[in-house]
Structure 1
Amino acid sequence: MTSTERGFTTFRWLCTLFGFVFYLGDIGSDLLLSVQYFRSGYVSWAALTLAFVLAGSVCIQIFSYAWFKDDERNDEGDKGLSTCQLIGIHVLQIGLFTRYCNLLKKSFKVLRSGQSKEEEQYRLFGIATDLSMLRLFETFLESVPQLVLQVYIILAHNHRSNLQYISMAVSFVNIAWATVDYRRCLRRSLPHINEMPSGIPTAVYLFYKIFTITPRILSLTLFIMLSTLTTLAMAFVWLVGTIWACVEETKFCTSRVLEHLYRAIVGVILVFTFFNIKGGHTKVPMTMYYILSVCQNLAAPILLFLLKPESERTDYFLPIIFFIFMSNSLGLGFLALYYSLLHPRGHVADEIDGMERLEPEPKTRFDNFLQI
């Protein structure tokens, strides 16, 4: 693929701008919702809503700062920011905001000049890939758990508000955008991997992710409605995913402490969607993952019916059962369609989600990024 085909286009700049707007909208709506809960006397809901926002924000600030310092050591960073400025930016939780502004500014200058070297294009996509990876972390640490919480509040407590629906809608858009934008950015930033085609392949991949993640959100909500103690079972699933990442000895971070944090985030992502950590063939582990996922998704409404039969008389019970069944079927159908016919094939393993270091020192950290 030529450098021109991989160029940072006006459309790519607009995608970055839209991603920035979605990010601000997601965080802003959740903060406003927490304030609304607090003013209405729902202190626990306000605290949980705010806790998810802070958990996602703190984690991505840590990785953002570490990557700034890594780039600085490799003579690839922004020379205009001192260590004190970097620390201040990330303590104030605006590391992602700074990265967005930096990328929009630099790419706008390149587009306006009409000329750019291949090295500049590669660097722009490097910045974009870092940014999209941080957005991916933020999505599974904040947006997805936030949806579980808000759906639980609506179904279990029959509490509804316009701001609540807005927050959920923005979170849903954020999930869809982050998963697809990240995959496209990563594949485009790696010259030895074929780019993810736009159009139908991208749409099918998006549907696969949305229709497999959504029933997970609904089924986990039903489990929590059955008993809040089921959150311990969710914690166990997270622990299993984290242990798997440790056993596989992922090598994503230069710092051992950050590597453990990364593995913990891997565990969170595995609660909601599949990815492979070390590379190789994924047919068997992916099949096993989605068999277990579908069984859990279908078990949730069945157990709710058996243990809380009064739930059958609610107006949401039958629609949710129908949606979980149909969404699982559609999601697995789109998964099969994508990986059998539409997935781009490269000369490296296509199904690597947390790529193993193939050399003592990889050229870039992108070689170790996830491909969910």
Structure 2
Amino acid sequence: MMKFTKQNFFFLVGGIIIYIIDIGVDFWVASKYFSQGQYSWSILILCFRGLSSLITQIFSYEWFKNDCEGTDTGKLKWIFLVHFFQCGIFIRYWFALKYGCQAAFKQKSSGDASETDPPNFIQKQAIDVVTDINMLRVFNTFLETTPQLFVQIYILMEHSKNNFCQYAAIIMSFCGISFSTVDYQISLRESLPDKDEFHVLSKLVYLFYKLLTITSWILSIALITLLSVRSSVILLIFLWICGFSWTLKQHTTFCKSKKMEYLYRTVVGIILIFTFFNIKGRKTKVCIFIYYATHTAVTLGILFLYMFWKPVIIKEIHFTIVSILTVLSLVLGIIFLVVYYGCFHPTAYCRPQACPDEVDGEAGQKDRVKTGRFQNFIMQ
């Protein structure tokens, strides 16, 4: 079993700080737009935040309920109340800090100990709690952070009014995406047996691959939105339908109830709008090639569309800059993608469970969080 290290703990602390600052920046930006009379932008920013918070709280509470199954469920009442007031993620951060500190700083090395021994047990607790947080942060990243980044970039391009709060929101969005994607990949590596650690170089390659491809795609969507908001909405809905249909075809089994499973598939469909994820832990070279080939074709198509639809805009400096950034980030992102999958991507995949229709099976309570939940989650 991989160890929860000091580096993992510092990444956890950094993620908490980014999460709290991101909440503050969201309300600050929304209040700025509201005070300037731009009510639609203010409401849109708050809607992204509210929707993301609601969905993450639902999944967090559902996981608490699954983990408490067969035990004393009295604590579920106050856990429900905390999640009802949108603070469930802070409970998970509290446990993560508690177990993470014990695992990283207060334990001596005991590599030969069994998993029932206290040192390894605390290590497993720390990894399990942080894994749950990273899964929730993936939801938050693509339900709130990434759409907000698109909105802020669109506002800057449409109105050409630069102010500090907009730049702060964009910077925080990039930081949120960065921490979320790297922490998620770390959790995946820790879930795969007999794999090397996720070293600094592989983390950077993975980070640049995700960040650059997402940035290119967001700029592309912003460009087509400038041409036609209706066309942009139709494109996003079409892409969501494609992603949702793919999850149906994959027969995902992440949740116990059908309602939660369809909610999960709906969320994964939204995630697939912005980036590729392997939702079954299988080899997907063909799928990832089709995914990014489609993104490349759409991006180039949008740029060519400007030439025929609004050629006057091409002469403007901001369009030139955005076009260059879009193409450059796409090319570099694809290069980092090829390097990552060629040199750093783990070749092992999580084994399917004995009971495919259930997340947790009949394993012990402590095993269920690690071997059940994550192995049915989206993987990359």
User: TM-score by structure 1 length?
Assistant: 0.91
8 A contact 1:13–1:107 mirrored in 2: yes
8 A contact 1:279–1:356 mirrored in 2: no
Shift of 1:198: 1.0
Could you say which residue in structure 1 is the equivalent of 2:180? 178
Shift of 1:205: 1.0
Deviates more, 1:94-103 or 1:170-179: 94-103
Could you say which residue in structure 1 is the equivalent of 2:214? 213
Could you say which residue in structure 2 is the equivalent of 1:130? 132
In structure 2, the CA distance between the partners of 1:356 and 1:239, relative to structure 1 (3 Å rule), is farther
In structure 2, the CA distance between the partners of 1:143 and 1:257, relative to structure 1 (3 Å rule), is same
**RMSD (Å) for aligned C-alpha atoms:** 1.9
Aligned-partner Cα distance in 1 for 2:273–2:66: 30
Shift of 1:7: 1.8
Paired residue for 2:49, among 46, 53, 57?
A: 53
Deviations 1:9-39 (Å, cap 9, x if unpaired)? 2221111111000111112101110011011
Asked whether 1:10 is paired with 2:14, we answer no
Aligned-partner Cα distance in 2 for 1:298–1:356: 39
Aligned-partner Cα distance in 2 for 1:213–1:257: 29
Could you say which residue in structure 1 is the equivalent of 2:368? none
Paired residue for 1:43, among 39, 44, 47?
A: 39
Aligned-partner Cα distance in 1 for 2:70–2:172: 37
Could you say which residue in structure 2 is the equivalent of 1:102? 95
Aligned-partner Cα distance in 1 for 2:198–2:224: 38
Aligned-partner Cα distance in 2 for 1:321–1:182: 30
Asked whether 1:25 is paired with 2:5, we answer no
In structure 2, the CA distance between the partners of 1:193 and 1:259, relative to structure 1 (3 Å rule), is farther
Paired residue for 1:367, among 348, 352, 375?
A: 375
Could you say which residue in structure 2 is the equivalent of 1:295? 297
Could you say which residue in structure 1 is the equivalent of 2:114? none
Could you say which residue in structure 1 is the equivalent of 2:58? 62
Shift of 1:252: 0.6
Aligned-partner Cα distance in 2 for 1:74–1:165: 49
SS of equivalent residue, structure 1 residue 73: coil
8 A contact 2:103–2:126 mirrored in 1: no
Aligned-partner Cα distance in 2 for 1:212–1:193: 30
8 A contact 2:279–2:377 mirrored in 1: no
8 A contact 1:8–1:107 mirrored in 2: yes
Deviates more, 1:362-371 or 1:241-250: 362-371
Deviations 1:86-141 (Å, cap 9, x if unpaired)? 11111111111221122112322444532452122112111100000000100000
Q: Which amino acid aligns with 2:52?
A: G
Q: Gaps (5+ residues) in structure 1?
A: 350-354
Aligned-partner Cα distance in 2 for 1:81–1:175: 36
Could you say which residue in structure 2 is the equivalent of 1:248? 250
Deviations 1:224-275 (Å, cap 9, x if unpaired)? 1111102122111111111111122110111111110110111111111112
Aligned-partner Cα distance in 1 for 2:278–2:27: 33
Q: Which amino acid aligns with 2:100?
A: S
Could you say which residue in structure 1 is the equivalent of 2:113? none
Could you say which residue in structure 1 is the equivalent of 2:148? 146
Aligned-partner Cα distance in 1 for 2:5–2:343: 27
Deviates more, 1:7-16 or 1:356-365: 356-365
Could you say which residue in structure 1 is the equivalent of 2:107? 114
8 A contact 2:99–2:123 mirrored in 1: no
Could you say which residue in structure 2 is the equivalent of 1:352? none
In structure 2, the CA distance between the partners of 1:218 and 1:72, relative to structure 1 (3 Å rule), is same
Could you say which residue in structure 1 is the equivalent of 2:227? 226
Q: Which amino acid aligns with 2:177?
A: I
Q: Which amino acid aligns with 1:62?
A: I
Shift of 1:302: 2.1
8 A contact 1:100–1:131 mirrored in 2: yes
8 A contact 1:196–1:344 mirrored in 2: no
Shift of 1:326: 1.4
SS of equivalent residue, structure 1 residue 117: helix
Shift of 1:366: 1.6
Could you say which residue in structure 2 is the equivalent of 1:278? 280
SS of equivalent residue, structure 1 residue 364: helix
Shift of 1:202: 1.4
Aligned-partner Cα distance in 2 for 1:153–1:343: 37
SS of equivalent residue, structure 2 residue 19: helix
Q: Which amino acid aligns with 2:54?
A: V
In structure 2, the CA distance between the partners of 1:162 and 1:112, relative to structure 1 (3 Å rule), is same
Q: Gaps (5+ residues) in structure 2?
A: 109-117, 362-370
Aligned-partner Cα distance in 2 for 1:193–1:314: 54
Q: Which amino acid aligns with 1:340?
A: G
Aligned-partner Cα distance in 2 for 1:110–1:295: 47
8 A contact 1:61–1:95 mirrored in 2: yes
Could you say which residue in structure 2 is the equivalent of 1:199? 200
Paired residue for 1:34, among 8, 30, 36?
A: 30
Shift of 1:357: 4.3
8 A contact 2:280–2:378 mirrored in 1: no
Pairs aligned (count): 358
